[in-house]
A and B are shown apart, each in its own frame.
Chain A
Amino acid sequence: MNSKTLLLGAAAAFMLSPVAAMAERGSSGHLNIIYWQAPSTLNPYLSGGTKEVESASLVLESFARFDDTGTMVPWLAADIPTVENGGVSEDLTQITWTIADGITWSDGTPLTAADAVFTWEYCTHPEGGCAQASYFDGVDSVVAVDDMTVQINFNAPKPFPYTAFVGSESPIIQAAQFAECLGARAPECTDANFGPIGTGPFVVTDFRPNDVIEFEANQNFRYPDRPYFATVTFKGGGDAAAAARSVLETGEFDYAWNLQIDPTILAQMEAQGNGTVVTAFGTSVERLHLNQTNPDPALGDLRSTVEGGPHPFLTDPIIGQAMSMAIDRALLVEVGYGAGGQPTCNVLPAPELYASTANDDCLVQDIAGANALLDEAGYVDTDGDGIREANGMPLSVLYQTSTNAVRQDTQALVKQWWSEIGIDAELRNIDASVFFGGDPASPDTFQKFYADVEMYTNNFAGVDPEAYMANWRCSEIPGPDTQWQGSNIQRFCMEEYDALVDEMATTADLQERGRLAREMNDMIIQSYSIIPLIHRGGVSAHANSLEGIRMSDWDSELWNIMDWRRAE
């Protein structure tokens, strides 16, 4: 035992509750987890869904993970490389990770730098269709300096270099196991994809796609006393209400994920006393996008494109502001989200460094104010039908979102508030597989935005908002020429904004990056092309007998499952 393992042990002890030190591997017996959406594979590079990434995080690990406060903690690496400790080069084009001592795969072979290099090759293979390719964006090469040292070279300065091999989305896979599975051959390796060999606390014993996974403790795990659970069943299927019921009411399961159900129902289930509801907030924001281009069907192919011209009235910030003022966000939280939501006025609500406070007026509903604002701007009801007109055009919007009970309740409430300020809304809900599907042939995708207003949640992974804020550059506007690919959904375009995006890409100083991000956030919010509604958190529930849970929305919810244990 050398000094580094001692250090790791100390770090681990810090993460634990003091009593845990007494327990030993497997002493807590069996753990039942239910994810109502079942994982389809255990290779997160082949499917980037949350359910796949989180289930795989029991087995596969990366150099660093984010804890429940969003702080990076070294995981497979000895420490976090920074410019100060020399791990990141001065010109920000290179980061060097050192693998901690004594880490082996579950088959007993040691983890080496070659595995990381292989992982990079695996995900960046042009025929592979790797779902996590964006984590390797800008990576020029990954080099094994020696067995324990991995050097990542970027082709341009990277102010935030902690993307590749950080967090659950880009874990390290074993070169020996996946050697034959590069590129187009990736799907042929069913055994490897369904039972990856990892460094994590558990190993897969049985995997049934879209149904159930059985795990058992990894006997070669680096901490001799962990994981405390000997076996884990990871069941999928059903719906959120049923998952909550199985933990909080029948007690068949110990942990249930993503319980987006009516807060009243969830609270009554929790009151049965079997379990506890836990929440964690990351960066997810439920928001309204107001189409800045004209979605009129009469325009044909030019519908909702920049070429089709601006929207007849939603480009005026006054109308957007009135629409925002009319919404009682606190009530939306109370009715639809409960502990899993907080009212927000920012599209970038967290981490704290990036959260602006300039727009907080929106937290209070002000229907009279909204009416006054519209009256003042000359948008009045001229024909007596209760709906205001702008240049003879009634303020009547088509408001679409994906199918989901909470979203439909939100739609109904917002529609009523808007009717109180003389804006009429027609509601539409679209099956999520179509809405988020991005099929260029379908008129109902959120990118095509053949509507005036649409609502959904977006977020960014990790803690750095640079790529997220770059979503709203003019060049990101979707259109037919780009097969409707593009992330600037509301078709917002401002030269000053693009300039700030470019500036951020070259700024390394954290405080300065914070200022730039806040400024960009305010620019978007004050254009009222996005109306943020709810800062959404993950909602899960666990049995009262389960200890050690530190729920995080910055990484996999199961990031510290090795510390979970059954109360005595």
Chain B
Amino acid sequence: MLTYTIRRLLLAIPTLLFISFIIFLIVKLSPSDPTAGLPLTIPPEVREQIRESLGVNQPVFVQYFRWLQLMVWNEPLHLIEGWTGWNVAPESTTRIISYQTRSPVMDLIMQRMPQTLWVVGISYIVGIIIALPIGIISAYRQYSWFDQLGTFISMLGFSVPTFFTGVLFIVIFAVNLGWFPSVYDTTHVVTDWDSFIVQLKQIIMPVMVLGLFNASQISRFMRASMLDNLNQDYVRTARAKGLTEKVVVLVHVLRNSLIPVVTVIALNVPAVFGGAIITEQVFKVNGIGQLLIIAIQSGDVPTVQTVSFIFAVLIVLFNLIADVLYGVLDPRIRYD
């Protein structure tokens, strides 16, 4: 398993290079433009000059290798310098600069990390915590009223888009009841109990909206997988051996049912860091999702490329973790 992991990690490097190049090509080819958001009163010659100063018109390969060099060399140096205070990065090291804000992309990402993790991260954890028991009970008591209700709610949760549930929650809880704020305050800092309550109040609606969506999906996979296993011969054997029902279900069946669930959970962890575009917009959270969508709309190639690349790294990493977990859950799975 260790050699497999190391081999996969090494293989990840060319994979990521390839992925980053493909992403770069797509983002470059895409017809959105950094001057699109400017008022039409700004004349075409000035726009052309702006493009020129951004380096938009350089050849694609030059731009890609420039980005790559900055990403794998200058940015890590800068990061080390920031963490340790050592002066490793040469004076005025060039960094990846966003077209839109003309500031380092990494700083933008770091700035948006806290609210993204608060909202999307917590909603994901909440989603998993709700989904697993619902999935297990629904499968164990298949076609009971609990199962029917669970099915109904999770289908509702998945088929009603977040742009609707978000607005619905705002109308009910912010406009009519006035319980929670409809605008997320990113400058709020948690220092004591009271400020924690404020923070809780402002994340509760987006977390509910996203959590419902996540829970729906995971609970469906959990239920289906449990159902498959509950009818297997080994369950009958385990029961025949006289094991308690609790042990049979929660140890034997659950463990064997986790493979698809682990896949789905691992697959969506990178998405946590990618943020949630629509929910962030509805609640004005301004996390990574909003950063990405604004960058896409304004043709901000360095930002889109960098965010997508980090996203790709996380995806490769978490898929590897999922593969390793398969082996842990089911020792018969061998990769070597």
Contact = CB atoms under 8 A, between A and B. Distances in A.
Q: Do chains A and B touch in the complex (CB under 8 A)?
A: yes
Interface of A: 34, 38, 40-41, 43, 46-50, 127-134, 184, 186-188, 190, 193-194, 206, 208-212, 214, 233, 235-239, 242, 245-246, 249-250, 252-253, 431-439, 441-442, 444-445, 456-461, 467, 483, 485-487
A444 B186 contact: no
Nearest to A248: B175
Given A461-B39, A461-B41, A235 B183 contact: yes
Contact of A438 (B35, B52, B103): B35
Contacts of B103: 41, 187, 190, 193-194, 209
13 contacts: A128-B53, A129-B53, A130-B46, A134-B46, A194-B103, A210-B290, A242-B284, A245-B175, A250-B178, A434-B31, A457-B40, A459-B40, A483-B48
B52 A48 contact: no
A433 B33 contact: yes
A184 B102 contact: no
A256 to B, nearest CB: 11
Given A434-B31, A436-B36, A439-B31, A190 B286 contact: no
A193 B100 CA distance: 12
B299 to A, nearest CB: 6
B299 A210 contact: no
Q: Which 5 A-B pairs have the closest CB atoms?
A: A129-B53, A442-B31, A437-B33, A485-B44, A187-B102
B230 interface: no
B100 A437 contact: no
**Chain A contact residues: over half helix, strand or loop, or mixed?**
loop
B58 interface: no
A42 B103 CA distance: 12
Contacts of B50: 129-131
Contact of B44 (A211, A246, A487): A487
Given A47-B102, A209-B100, A459-B40, 16 more contacts: A40-B298, A127-B53, A128-B53, A190-B104, A206-B187, A208-B111, A210-B286, A212-B186, A237-B285, A238-B283, A245-B170, A250-B181, A444-B31, A458-B40, A459-B41, A485-B44
A444 B30 CA distance: 12
Contacts of B280: 237
Contacts of B108: 209-210
Contacts of A50: 39
B41 A212 contact: no
A246 B35 contact: no
B282 interface: yes
Given A40-B100, A209-B103, A237 B47 contact: no
Given A48-B39, A133-B46, A434-B36, A246 B182 contact: yes
B92 interface: yes
A210 B291 contact: yes
Interface residues of B, number: 60
Q: Which of B102, B112, B296 has the most CB of A within 10 A?
A: B102
A253 B183 contact: yes
B174 interface: yes
B187 A47 contact: no
B43 interface: yes
Given A134-B46, A245-B170, A433 B36 contact: yes
Given A237-B284, A237-B290, A434-B36, A41 B54 contact: no
Contacts of A431: 32, 297
Contacts of A435: 36
A237 B101 contact: no
B42 interface: yes
Interface of B: 29, 31-33, 35-54, 92, 97-98, 100-104, 107-108, 111-112, 170, 174-175, 178, 181-183, 185-187, 280-286, 290-291, 294, 296-299
A187 B97 contact: yes
A439 B50 CA distance: 13
Contact of A49 (B37, B47, B48, B186): B37
Q: Which of A127, A130, A434 has the most CB of B within 10 A?
A: A434
B291 A134 contact: no
A550 to B, nearest CB: 22
A129 B32 CA distance: 19
Nearest to A183: B53
B153 to A, nearest CB: 27
Given A131-B42, A134-B46, A210 B101 contact: yes
Contact of A193 (B102, B183, B281, B298): B102
A245 B187 contact: no
Q: Which of B29, B100, B111, B281 has the most CB of A within 10 A?
A: B100
Contact of A41 (B38, B101, B181, B294): B101
A237 B40 contact: no
Nearest to B280: A237
B175 A239 contact: no
B274 to A, nearest CB: 16
A238 B102 contact: no
Contacts of A40: 100-101, 294, 298
B49 A238 contact: no
Contacts of A487: 43-44
Q: Which of A209, A253, A441, A460 has the most CB of B within 10 A?
A: A209
A236 B286 contact: yes
Contacts of B281: 237-239
B41 to A, nearest CB: 5
A208 B186 contact: yes
A291 B296 CA distance: 30
B32 A434 contact: yes
Q: Which of B101, B290, B296 has the most CB of A within 10 A?
A: B101
Given A50-B39, A238-B183, A252-B183, A41 B286 contact: no
A127 B49 CA distance: 8
A211 B182 contact: no
Nearest to A127: B53
